[in-house]
Amino acid sequence: MIEKIITLDSIPLIDFLGIENKNINELAQAFPKSRIISRGNEILVKGETPDILQITDILNSLQDHFHQYGKITEENVRGYLSQERQDGVHDDSVDGIILYGTKGTPIKPKSVNQQKLVQSVRDNDLVFVLGPAGTGKTYISVALAVRALKNKIVKKIIITRPAVEAGENLGFLPGDLKEKIDPYLRPIYDSLNDMIPFEKLKYYMEREIIEIAPLAYMRGRTLNNAFILLDEAQNTTPMQMKMFLTRMGPESKMIVTGDGSQIDLPRNQSSGLKEAVRILDKIKGIGIVELSAKDVVRHKLVRDIIEAYGQNS
């Protein structure tokens, strides 16, 4: 049994706990194997790690709720309990919601082609997603992976990308290969932080339930019961791409994302992504989704910039 202390941020204890501690009792009853104790402006939680992670998520959500609405009711507690237990959104969500982010914001496709991506991942075990920057191909892919993990469709998420220098020199940076490339994986970390509460994400990564690593670390592995995402795949060589695709094990799904207009490989080196799409496009169970400037979800100028560069190439 471990302990966790949650400090209440500028919230009167009586308002948080409820009259006769009804709010906190509602939470405690849902986790009979854990203990929840209030001490001043702190709440001490004792229990096993999975329970503590869920209780922490709910208590943090309740604090945010109080700061937004000025009160907490038993019904609010039951609502957040229900949301935590659901812990994701199923594939048949009527509103097209993939899942809810850490701030309660629904994450869902924002364009027709993004919706095609969601559908293609539902129908196929391997999907190639092609498109320029800002089209949401990586963000939606990460959301689909997180939903699969939360809904227990897979046991882990593996996210990787090739260590190719995009005009910068990695050699002078300190640390091993993973430490050198971590800054280049920042968009992946940002996406995950949007979708999974900090404590739970830390727990997942410490236990390698979510793994983020350079492509070189994939060699020789068989990836079973996992959702695997290869990002920036335009910078793989044909041999690297073949190596990656053949890592796929039973009960796994793969998404490969890339932008053919941003290849950073040496001029004499062909892109593994382009070759793979050409060779594999007729195989049943493999989907190919193309996004364009029309799918850009960043600043409106990004779409114009992409189209201008496209016309000038």
| Whether residue 277 sits in one domain with residue 137 | yes
Examine residue 55 and state whether it is found in any structural domain, yes or no: yes
Give the per-residue pLDDT at 51: 84
pTM, to two decimals: 0.71
Residue type, 256: V
Containing 213, the helix (H) or strand (E) segment is: strand 210-214
CA 129 to chain centre: 16
Asked if 192 and 235 sit in the same domain, the reply is: yes
pLDDT confidence of residue 40: 79
Tokens of 276: 């793979």
Pair 71, 207 in one domain = no
Cα–Cα distances (Å) from 33 to 50, 199, 200, 279, in that order, read 11, 20, 19, 54
- Verify that 292 and 250 share a domain, yes or no: yes
DSSP 218: G
Range of the domain at 249: 99-312
pLDDT tens digits, the chain, 313 residues: what are they? Answer: 788 888 887 888 888 888 888 888 888 998 988 999 888 788 899 988 878 888 888 888 888 888 878 888 888 888 778 766 655 555 555 468 898 888 777 888 988 899 999 999 999 999 999 998 888 899 999 999 999 998 888 999 999 988 765 444 445 445 555 566 667 678 888 999 999 888 888 888 888 999 988 888 888 888 999 999 999 999 999 999 999 999 999 999 999 999 988 888 888 889 999 999 999 989 999 999 999 878 876 666 766 776 777 677 5
Max CA pair span of the chain: 73
Whether residues 226 and 271 share a domain: the answer is yes
Q: What pLDDT does residue 305 have? A: 77
Q: CA dihedral defined by 257, 262, 267, 273, rounded to 10 degrees?
A: 10
Whether 43 maps to a domain, the answer reads yes
CATH number at residue 49: 3.30.1370.10
pLDDT of residue 90: 54
Q: Is residue 75 domain-shared with residue 124, that is, in the same domain?
A: no
The last residue of a domain, from among 63, 86, 109: 86
Same domain, yes or no, for 107 and 73? no
Please state, in angstroms and rounded to a whole number, the distance separating the CA atoms of residues 271 and 164: 12
Looking at the fold, whether 56 and 191 belong to one and the same domain comes out as no
Query: Into how many domains does the chain fold?
Result: 2
Q: Which of the listed residues 56, 86, 116 is the one where a domain comes to its end?
A: 86
Residues 6+ away with beta carbon under 8 Å from 180 = 163, 170, 173, 174
Closest CA to 115 of 299, 291, 234, 256: 291
Determine, yes or no, domain membership for 92: no
Pairing of strands 99-100, 106-107: antiparallel
| Same domain membership, residue 110 and residue 82 | no
**Do 59 and 140 fall within a single domain?**
no
**108 and 53 inside one domain:** no
The last residue of a domain, from among 51, 86, 121:
86
Any long-range contacts for 8-14 (C-beta under 8 Å, 24+ apart)? 8/41, 8/42, 8/43, 8/63, 9/63, 9/67, 10/67, 11/41, 11/63, 11/66, 11/67, 13/38, 13/40, 13/41
> What gap in Å lies between CA 156 and CA 104, rounded to an integer?
23
Closest CA to 13 of 74, 66, 87: 66
